[in-house]
């Protein structure tokens, strides 16, 4: 399958810097990977304008479970689709921790994304305490079971494995640990969705950089990367894509 390199810009950037970053990514060499950038809500429309005509896809960082309503400060999946977004990140550990999002909340949002024609990128991952306790694979398997809707595989949904303790810390699991977790995720997807589960992309995220991308992306069942800090520099983001 064709790898996906996704950039999560998180809560960073001004209007000018978002346009400049999007332009830098769009003008780069796409290599053998699909590229996706996920700017903050307020920059979606201008970034969509910059990316128009390029092969770089636009995504958002979250959505509400309802299509509309009295939800001050929230953004619905249909609104994102209307702006040109094709993907939406859901269940990121920062959403799960900062906003107390449970698997059930993530599931409802993923269902809303599918209903709006968006491809959900559902994040799963264990804390350091859970890994030390030997619970990492069980925790991730539970998150998959509770967060993925029935139509996920048919819609070509994406799973992103991000060990919580590796996000933004500069630390990464061993290659063996990454391979083992991705193999477990693949097994869970196939057990639930059958043959379609073997064709879904599983991304790795957590301190991915140009320097370690080649080794990580070469591992079995690693079908791309969800990139945080390194996605804020076009050359670094494209360097990761070129490592495919």
Which residues belong to the annotated binding site for substrate? 8-10, 168, 207, 228-229
Catalytic residue among 92, 101, 111, 182: 92
Active site residue 162: yes
Measured from the Cβ of residue 99, the count of other Cβ atoms closer than 10 Å reads 10
Does residue 117 contact residue 81 with C-beta atoms inside 8 Å? yes
Catalytic residue among 162, 182, 188, 221: 162
- Identify which of 205, 28, 50, 16 has the alpha carbon closest to the alpha carbon of residue 121: 205
**What contacts 79, CB < 8 A, 6 or more positions away?**
none
Known binding-site positions: 8-10, 168, 207, 228-229
Q: How far is CA 240 from the centre of its chain?
A: 15
Rounded Cα distance, 190 and 232, in Å: 34
* Total count of residues recorded for the chain: 244
Please give the positions annotated as active site: 92, 162
């Amino acid at each position: 399958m064709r790898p996906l390199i996704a950039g999560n810009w998180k809560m960073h950037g001004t209007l000018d810097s978002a346009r400049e970053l999007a332009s830098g990514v769009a003008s780069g060499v796409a290599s053998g990977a699909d590229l996706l950038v996920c700017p903050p809500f307020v920059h979606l429309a201008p970034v969509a304008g910059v990316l128009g005509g390029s092969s770089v896809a636009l995504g958002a960082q979250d959505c509400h479970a309802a299509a509309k309503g009295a939800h001050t400060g929230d953004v619905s999946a249909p609104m994102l689709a209307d702006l040109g977004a094709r993907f939406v990140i859901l269940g990121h550990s920062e959403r799960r921790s900062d906003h107390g999002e449970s698997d059930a909340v993530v599931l409802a949002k993923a269902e809303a994304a599918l209903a709006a024609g968006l491809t959900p990128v559902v994040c799963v991952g264990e804390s350091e305490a859970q890994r030390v306790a030997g619970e990492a694979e069980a925790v991730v398997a539970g998150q998959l079971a509770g967060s993925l809707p029935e139509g996920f595989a048919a819609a070509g949904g994406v799973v992103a494995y991000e060990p919580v303790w590796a996000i933004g810390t500069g630390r990464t699991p061993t290659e063996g640990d990454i391979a083992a977790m991705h193999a477990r995720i693949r097994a869970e997807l196939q057990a639930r969705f059958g043959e379609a589960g073997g064709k879904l992309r599983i991304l790795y995220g957590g301190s991915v950089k140009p320097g370690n991308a080649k080794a990580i992306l070469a591992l079995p069942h690693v079908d791309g990367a969800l990139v945080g800090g390194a996605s804020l520099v076009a050359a670094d983001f494209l360097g990761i894509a070129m490592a495919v």
